Chain A
């Protein structure tokens, strides 16, 4: 329980935060309590439940959802049900995962700083579980580490957690019982807490993205929690490209993207094309204005969130992806021979005489693999998604995994996928002979001719 002294301190922090907020950023200044608050908190402080649209711009979780709640006596009541979920990572690839409320990952819990929340957790898994509220400042007994803070929630049991959000920011929740297994199976989700009194402009578009990694060999139907290094399904909100839903904004809107990473072993450097952005928050709190710098890539470590913001002033279709190149492949294997530069003439016929369906491949890379597979002449195992990307407006997009799109359009009011962007300025194309001659690009000219 919070003591009077603590309450005063919290109240002081709130005031400080307000003061700081008015001066750019609402970060706490008291060492040891660096989390961000925009108002004072304490037992003698209470706030009415925050209202979507009024108190905050609702966050959008592409391919996901927001956890509904009801209000009882001023408390927001949430209910999470941990259960097995047959989850589709992308068309053609399903897995028997564990999730919350029928989803992988769990729905985003959205609240406003100062909200009193009560979260019921029902366990419909075959194993015991618990839920940890990652980054949320609360009393120890609610922190969710089984054995340490509470008993594990046995199958069939429902536990209740309750606290007041005394901070705002981007956080996460995940199982904290047999973490290695349960997180690898998908038991995680995002928490978004809006500031009660925002010191910075509200975003027009607010997105929450959870990054995670999985291992399922082609043909398997259940993620392998024992994998430690060679993850082959890389997802944003549980989806691998081309199943990731694009982020859509209107030109001129302020866009906030909250990125959490609960991958087992990998950090992700998320790169956005077409924009420079600022990293405004971590799961620890607001980044002071003085510490912000323009970036095009933000590194999201395992067990952390990063929030970036920018004005969508550059219309177009923009790739946004992890820049670790193996993280934008679908079900890539790493044990095969390197075929790059190999001349297959010496063995193609001999191998094909033994294996009529054989076709040498990989000699020039893997860029065409997805197309081969999509065309159907190279069948792959059932329930698999090897190398698959998707058809784009100008050919095949040879990307997969942790890849999505930011689509910025002028004047739109409907934020459904607007389709491919037709760039009025111009699209890269083969150079003409006249151009090559004009600019005296001799060698290329010769090749063109």
Chain B
């Protein structure tokens, strides 16, 4: 019988097979996926591009006024957060390889001394977890699904990150423009205070009127200071997103201003079913479904083992095959089966909730995005010209001596306020556009989506083992 046992065991092992993911293969898949979805080319310094070459490229980009595309490219080459995603994916590939491999058999050897006997007895044993062998293909399939989910989640993380960089860039540009406009408003208020001082010196206004102008100038100066602080915070955030530190973080200048939105809205449709987080959800649900049979089996026949033994007893060799398993006398495993089923159902429900959330988000963003576009266009077409005409009218009124210099400067500040509102309208538009594009590319634009279902997935796996 022993002559059949070893081949049978080998056949089982062969049947189980094994999986190996080459190093970097996960990244290539990620690069392709992200490129297709965001038209952004990924590189991995030290892996797909030499680190010196990446550094040269970053320095080249930093020497020119920083564009949105340049900020994203720098982030891809330089952001530790992005590098971490690459490494996490590599780790996931390693775990996949590990999970897909068969568990090693265990070997036992024993020497038994028989008292006063010339020979010793020997005992060799070889055992393997039978359940791992029997369900090997299912387990490998589950590991593949896990890796598929992790790849999708990595791609989603990058889509989200690229969008966050884009938003950080827009915020920095807007903060720059608003800070400049606030500086002009402050200058106008100080000029008004100068006028008041000259009027006071001439004896034409009272101290209280002068003090009011000075108070106004101080308050507007504070607003300008806050705007500068917000600009600094926006630059620092963009530095953090792009991974820039030291002199690299302080020397860059932004290119241009926020552009006006297009007159015609051409939207890439959001295909919610192709959302990366839903793809990850699906893979994890499939993984849990694949592992649920394992849970059922293990709950009925706990930890079955196939053992082969070779024993020399008093010079005679003997062999034998045996099995061992947990006898379900007191615990029939119903609890584990029930838990696994419920967790799978929860994952399915969470996936449905995510789908609904993404659908809602797509519709909401479409509406908000278009409204923001129209507002920005109206600001450009109507409000700014109106504000300009109001200032021009105030200048004419001043020339006609209908108003004084301070009232004219008030009108200037009103025009600058309209300019700030326009910048905010543009900022709103571009941020929403970035979020919409993020969603269309398969990311999750807002925090309402439960993006990962690691907990439930791992729970099933733990139970399975």
Contact = CB atoms under 8 A, between A and B. Distances in A.
Interface string B292-311: 00000000000000000000
Nearest to B187: A354
B141 to A, nearest CB: 71
A422 B205 CA distance: 45
A337 to B, nearest CB: 4
Interface in A354-403: 354-355, 357-358, 360-362, 366, 369, 372-373, 378-381, 384, 386-387
B405 A360 contact: yes
A399 to B, nearest CB: 16
B399 to A, nearest CB: 4
B398 A338 contact: no
Contacts of A344: 198
B405 to A, nearest CB: 6
A357 B198 contact: no
A362 B191 CA distance: 18
B401 A386 contact: yes
Contacts of A378: 399
Contacts of A426: none
Contact of B403 (A335, A340, A347): A335
Contact of B409 (A339, A354, A386): A354
A18 B432 CA distance: 95
B412 A355 contact: yes
Contacts of A381: 393, 396-397, 400
Nearest to B193: A347
A293 interface: no
B392 to A, nearest CB: 9
B396 A379 contact: yes
A147 interface: no
B435 interface: no
B191 A350 contact: yes
A387 B397 CA distance: 12
Nearest to A388: B400
Interface string B370-412: 0000000000000000000001010111111111111111001
B203 A341 contact: yes
B191 A347 contact: yes
B404 A339 contact: yes
Contact of A369 (B401, B403, B406, B412): B401
A331 B401 CA distance: 9
Contact of B198 (A343, A358, A384): A343
B202 interface: yes
A155 B233 CA distance: 68
Nearest to B407: A336
B224 to A, nearest CB: 14
A346 B201 CA distance: 11
Nearest to A386: B400
B195 interface: yes
A217 interface: yes
A379 B400 CA distance: 8
B199 A337 contact: yes
Contact of B199 (A342, A354, A386): A342
Nearest to A372: B399
A437 to B, nearest CB: 37
Contacts of B31: none
A342 B184 contact: no
A387 B401 contact: yes
Contact of A373 (B195, B399, B412): B399
Interface in B170-202: 184, 187-188, 190-191, 194-195, 197-199, 201-202
Nearest to B412: A354
A333 B402 contact: yes
Given A342-B199, A343-B198, A344-B198, A336 B401 contact: yes
Most buried by B among A355, A358, A369: A355
B400 A350 contact: no
B185 to A, nearest CB: 10
A354 B202 contact: no
Contacts of A71: none
A358 B197 contact: no
A351 interface: yes
A217 B199 contact: no
Contacts of A353: 187
Contact of A337 (B190, B391, B395, B405): B405
Interface in B404-441: 404-409, 412
A387 B198 contact: no
A351 B191 contact: yes
Most buried by B among A347, A350, A378: A347
A141 interface: no
B360 interface: no
Nearest to B194: A347
B408 to A, nearest CB: 7
Given A338-B199, A339-B199, A343-B198, A357 B395 contact: yes
A331 B400 contact: yes
B204 interface: yes
A312 interface: no
Nearest to A330: B400
Nearest to A353: B187
A361 B404 CA distance: 10
Contacts of B412: 354-355
A341 B409 CA distance: 20
Interface string A262-284: 00000000000000000000000
A381 B390 CA distance: 12
A370 to B, nearest CB: 11
Given A344-B198, A347-B195, A381-B393, A336 B400 contact: no
Nearest to A338: B204
A341 B395 CA distance: 22
A43 interface: no
Nearest to B200: A342
A363 to B, nearest CB: 8
A333 B195 contact: no
A380 B400 contact: yes
A102 interface: no
A211 interface: no
Most buried by A among B399, B403, B406: B399
Nearest to B394: A355
Contacts of B407: 336
A285 B191 CA distance: 61
Contacts of A340: 202, 204
Contacts of A217: 402
Interface in A314-338: 331-333, 335-338
A337 B194 contact: no
Interface in B246-286: none
A219 interface: yes
A341 B188 CA distance: 22
Most buried by A among B190, B205, B396: B396
Contacts of A354: 184, 187-188, 191, 409, 412
A218 B191 contact: no
9 contacts: A219-B396, A219-B397, A337-B404, A338-B199, A340-B204, A347-B194, A347-B197, A366-B401, A380-B396
Interface of A: 217-219, 331-333, 335-344, 346-347, 350-351, 353-355, 357-358, 360-362, 366, 369, 372-373, 378-381, 384, 386-387
Given A337-B199, A358-B395, 14 more contacts: A333-B400, A336-B401, A337-B195, A337-B406, A340-B204, A343-B201, A346-B197, A347-B197, A351-B194, A354-B412, A357-B395, A369-B401, A380-B396, A386-B400
9 smallest A-B Cβ distances: which pairs? A386-B400, A337-B404, A336-B404, A347-B194, A380-B400, A333-B402, A341-B202, A378-B399, A338-B204
